[in-house]
């Protein structure tokens, strides 16, 4: 969780992942974009960590831009944020796969552990290469330029239009879209539909965290757990694709990944039914 605070009058950086700035949605978006720029501009920060934090911030920014899109012309800004995040994504792949392998160890027996150790070593070269290269400055500077333009456009919008009624209507629409995505999962529980469901769950979670109308503690915990489980499913799918690409989709690791995917799917369905019971109708 971030511990950054205000550095000068009128400029607020995020104090916590779920904390909106007091001035409202527009100021929250602007502050988080500024935090992204600040991180990307600092060559002393670890590149992998910067990419991870910036991509997280941009997901929250995009969620708020989507929430505002019925009242303000923000969809093109949301798309530009997504494009900026994609330009950084490949720098995070090796670390993300290493974290996925680490989570798999908690489910593994001795036979699986031996295979996971061998696979971790095989993938370690990618991590070492990424760490040595760091965050390429031309790439960082290009993303910074994009985010500055987006921030200027955000600062030019009248977010006073995002009153309580407009925000409430946007949140209701987000819930309905998430429920529809869950119904699609129930109809055909394949990984691509789980991934679509993950995107709208995360968006709903971020909107609730940042718009000033938070969920109660129990409901937020349920939504957060659902997002985490769906995120693990996404990570396993990425790992599976990597293993296929290097002809390593076989043996104990293949068995463990497939078993874990089945278990996570079942868990996601249980959590989804608890939050979106209308999915059965």
For residue range 84-114, what is the model confidence (pLDDT) as tens digits? 999 999 888 878 888 899 899 988 888 888 8
Question: How much is the pLDDT for 174?
Answer: 95
Residues 32 and 147 sit within 8 Å (Cβ to Cβ): no
Averaged pLDDT for residues 245-274: 94
pLDDT at 128 over 80: no
pLDDT of residue 14: 38
User: For residue 151, which of 30, 25, 32, 62 has the smallest C-alpha distance?
Assistant: 30
**pLDDT, average across residues 30-38:** 97
Structure confidence at residue 190 as a pLDDT band (50, 70, 90):
very high
Q: What is the CA angle 96-101-103, rounded to 5?
A: 95
Whole-number Cα distances in Å, 86 to 17, 58, 231, 275, 277: 21, 10, 17, 30, 34
Cα separation, 222 vs 256, in Å, equals 26
Average confidence (pLDDT) over 203-213: 94
Where is average pLDDT lowest: 12-21, 84-93, 207-216? 12-21
pLDDT at 29: 97
Residues 62-82, mean pLDDT to the nearest whole number: 98
Cβ atoms of 47 and 134 within 8 Å: the answer is yes
For residues 223 and 55, give the distance between their C-alpha atoms in angstroms, rounded to a whole number.
Answer: 20
The stretch 125-144 carries a mean pLDDT of: 84
Report if pTM > 0.95. Answer: no
Partners of residue 11 on adjacent β-strands? 8
- What are the φ and ψ backbone dihedral angles of 71, each rounded to 5 degrees? -100, -25
């Amino acid at each position: 969780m971030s511990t950054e605070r205000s550095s000068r009058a009128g400029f607020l950086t995020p104090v916590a992942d779920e904390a909106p700035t007091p001035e409202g949605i527009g100021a929250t978006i602007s502050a988080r974009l500024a935090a992204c720029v600040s991180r990307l501009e600092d060559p002393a920060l670890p590149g992998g960590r910067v990419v991870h934090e910036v991509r997280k911030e941009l997901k929250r920014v995009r969620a708020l831009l989507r929430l505002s899109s019925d009242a303000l012309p923000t969809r093109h800004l949301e798309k530009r944020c997504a494009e900026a995040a994609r330009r950084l994504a490949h720098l995070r792949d090796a670390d993300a796969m290493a974290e996925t392998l680490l989570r798999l160890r908690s489910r593994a027996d001795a036979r699986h552990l031996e295979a996971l150790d061998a696979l971790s070593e095989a993938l370690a070269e990618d991590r070492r290469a990424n760490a040595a290269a760091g965050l390429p400055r031309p790439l960082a500077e290009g993303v910074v330029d994009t985010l500055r333009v987006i921030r200027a456009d955000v600062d030019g919008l009248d977010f006073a239009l995002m009153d309580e009624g407009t925000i409430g209507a946007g949140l209701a629409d987000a819930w309905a879209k998430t429920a529809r995505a869950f119904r699609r999962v129930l109809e055909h529980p394949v990984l691509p539909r789980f991934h679509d469901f993950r995107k709208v769950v995360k968006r709903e979670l971020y909107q609730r965290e940042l718009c000033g109308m938070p969920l109660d503690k129990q409901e937020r915990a349920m939504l957060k757990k659902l997002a985490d489980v769906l995120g693990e499913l996404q990570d396993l799918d990425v790992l599976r694709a990597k293993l296929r690409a290097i002809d390593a989709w076989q043996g104990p690791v293949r068995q463990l990944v497939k078993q874990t995917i089945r278990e996570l799917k079942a868990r996601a369905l249980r959590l989804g039914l608890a939050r979106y019971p209308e999915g059965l109708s």
